[in-house]
Homo-oligomer: A and B are copies of this chain.
Amino acid sequence: MSNIDLIIQSQKYARNIVYETPLLFNSKVNEILGKNIFIKPECLQITGSFKFRGAWCAISHLKKENKILNGVVAYSSGNHAQGVAAACKAHDIPSLIVMPKDAPKQKISNTLDYNSEIIFYDRYTEIREKIGENIANEKKLTLIKPYDDDLIIAGQGTCGLEIIKQSKKLGVEKAEVLVCCGGGGLSAGILLALEKYAPFYKLRTCEPEFYDDTARSLKSGKREINETNNPSICDAILTPTPGELTFPILKRNAGEGLVVSEKEVLKAMKFLYQHFKIVSEPGGAVAAAAAIFSADKLNEKDIIVVVSGGNVDSEIFSKAISENG
């Protein structure tokens, strides 16, 4: 079971390999928003998203315990793909990734660059979990799930440990931590760290409109399913329902879920470009959008915002930062 001990163990695997991304702040932004905003730019992480944390820690752990079969298989919209591909390459383990055929070009080409083999599927008609499990069985590969995996949750939790250490150093005692939420691996990992070391920090999940399964689930107390499978620019965090392992963790202590529109996400990308000089992808800017546009739903003065990824095709980024974006 994923817990704080597993996160601390992950931190040992992470050392000198996973970046300790900085915690950025900007007095001008704080004046504009009337809150103290701290940005955790996981877009700067190896492979351009937090996903490398979980992938690296999980694969390092499994390798040490001799539990990697003929190689690794993973399904992913692209960020977990790159994380797994990079971790496998560094460990000299073959990897195979099941990716939606409409994934951003940059995510596909980066995954290929790490020598992974890719199998494409149709996001709207096929079920990636089944494809992944079938391949794992047929080819005797070790399946690394994107979030419903204790080792993955623990690896993402290393981000939480950094947030606590860095923000406390800056004098923060009580805060809300806004996290972009798909299946909930990052949110659950961070929440476990907060429960142990920063009980006065409140985790708030952030989702794009129409994919607000976590917000609705936190409200009803059970795992709700999204009714839509409409295309969204937030490809990184489009999951049908919260994870089986992640949701019980989130349910325990997360605050009310926040939901933002695509327009707000594009504006948040521009805001991060302008004030923090970082490149965020739509799914990675959802928490920033919530900090900017849902301020009335926030209770604390100190707000920590995880920018979870930056793998975005230039057409969308240019659109976001243009005057009308």
- Which residues of A approach B to under 8 Å, CB–CB? 16, 19-22, 24, 26-28, 41, 43-44, 46, 48, 86, 89-90, 106, 110, 113-114, 169-170, 270, 273-274, 276-280, 310-311, 314, 317-318, 321-323
Contacts and interface: CB of A to CB of B under 8 A. Distances in A.
Contacts of A276: 44
A26 B90 CA distance: 12
A274 B323 CA distance: 22
Identify which of A28, A89, A106, A273 gathers the most chain B CB atoms within 10 Å of its CB.
Answer: A28
Contact of A314 (B21, B26, B321): B321
Given A310-B277, A321-B317, A26 B46 contact: yes
A114 B28 CA distance: 8
Contacts of A106: 274
Contact of A277 (B43, B274, B322): B43
A21 B280 CA distance: 18
A20 B19 contact: no
A170 B16 contact: yes
Nearest to A49: B277
Contacts of A318: 314, 317-318, 321-322
Contacts of A41: 44, 277
A24 to B, nearest CB: 6
B110 A28 contact: yes
Contacts of A311: 277
B278 A44 contact: yes
A63 B246 CA distance: 52
Given A16-B169, A277-B310, 6 more contacts: A19-B24, A28-B86, A41-B44, A41-B277, A270-B314, A273-B317
A22 B46 contact: no
Contacts of A310: 277
Contacts of A280: 277
